Amino acid sequence: MADIRYWIGFNIVPGIGPAKFRALIDHFGDLEAAWRADAHELREAGLDRRAIENLLATRAGISLDEEVERVARREAHVLTWDDAAYPPQLRNIYSPPPLLYVKGEILPEDEWAVAVVGTRRATVYGREATRQIAGDLARNRITIVSGLARGIDAQAHRAALDAGGRTIAVLGCGIDIIYPSENRKLAQEIVERGALITEYPLGTPPEGGNFPPRNRIISGLALGTLIVEAGEDSGALITADYALEQGREVFAVPGNIFNRGSGGTNKLIQQGAKLVLSAQDVLEELNLTMVSQQIEVREIVPENETESILLQYISSEPIHVDEIKQATGLPMATVSSTLAMMELKGMVRQVGGMNYILAREARAEYVVD
């Protein structure tokens, strides 16, 4: 992997965003060469005068080694476009962040994620709807993504944690700053059961202009975005707009027509957003009803290539050994002996008539209170 120091360095430079990152990599081949380039070479790469001046000033004023150490001292790490662990859903949006500061851990199963956002001035109705829907999604192994803001966002994170699920908070500031400060305890719990992430360098304050770009990451991490409660001028609607631009589903919980705080969500429904009354509506629309079983399959670690092949065809539904042989193209003796060994290991179970299922019990399609 390319030296992370240069990714961090360029991320600190004002005015160098995803497009300029890509232009520099395409022109120089790697960021180290770009970092060492002179003004003439940078102009040839497509940087404008202001970006070049910012880069030269930043380059002269920082130590890249110290910047890497600062990230480590905050118990954070960095993911770039080059990392296999970079979230695949986010990688596929327009203008994905070249670099993510992460505190906590992003796991492969977080690709099954739903963003849940809304107003900072949540009503009792909005908070309760968020608690129920986000909680039920989390119980069905869906990762909840939100923005750690007051109101609906904080309630969504809390609901996921209380349900024993995972949640990711996307910040509009540096990873070393928690905003609002009242959510410090919540943020720490999120680190333990998910992650805090941001594209902004250490020390970046939570300025108003940071939050609209932040919202593209919230929607970009998720298969769909649910707006629970939002007025017609709510920032949550920016997240819905990004989701539509990214080709993701948009959902909305209907609200009281006399409550201004529900004007945005009701209008989204008028415009075609999927009306949501329960977590089941989201699970069915996104075809996420079997996520628990898919995660369980991933958690079974095969010890050899033959076991890996067989596990592709064994699920909670019984499958006959003859069907497995036909599907895999393996000799019957190999299939039978491998299945016998997998049964001894507790990986699969025979349920009569030479039919096999995964040994772990399947969960119910929907887990609700």
Tell me phi and psi for residue 27, to 5 degrees. -80, -45
Distance CA 164, CA 193 (A): 9
**Residue-level pLDDT at 316:** 72
Q: Do residues 117 and 92 touch, judged by C-beta distance below 8 A?
A: no
DSSP string of 143-183, one letter each residue: EEEE---TTHHHHHHHHHHHTT--EEEE-SS-TT--SSGGG
Q: Give 24-80 pLDDT, tens digit per residue.
A: 999 999 999 999 999 999 999 999 999 999 999 999 999 999 999 999 999 999 999
When pLDDT is averaged across residues 275-286 and rounded to a whole number, the result is: 95
Q: pTM of the prediction?
A: 0.80
Q: Do residues 267 and 236 touch, judged by C-beta distance below 8 A?
A: no
Distance CA 279, CA 134 (A): 7
Q: What domains can be seen in the chain, in order of their start residue?
A: 1-73 (no CATH), 104-285 (3.40.50.450), 291-358 (1.10.10.10)
From 341, 333, 332, 337, select the one nearest 303 (Cα to Cα).
341
**Residue-level pLDDT at 365:** 38
Q: Is 234 helix (H, G, I), strand (E, B) or coil?
A: coil
> Treating both helix axes as pointing N-terminal to C-terminal, what angle do 332-344 and 321-328 enclose, rounded to 10 degrees?
120
With a cut of 80, say whether residue 367 has pLDDT above it: no
Confidence of residue 363 (pLDDT cuts 50, 70, 90): very low
When pLDDT is averaged across residues 14-32 and rounded to a whole number, the result is: 93
Q: Give 155-178 pLDDT, tens digit per residue.
A: 999 999 999 999 999 999 999 999
When pLDDT is averaged across residues 320-345 and rounded to a whole number, the result is: 91
With a cut of 60, say whether residue 362 has pLDDT above it: no
When pLDDT is averaged across residues 247-266 and rounded to a whole number, the result is: 94
Report the range of poorest mean pLDDT among 166-180, 230-244, 350-364: 350-364
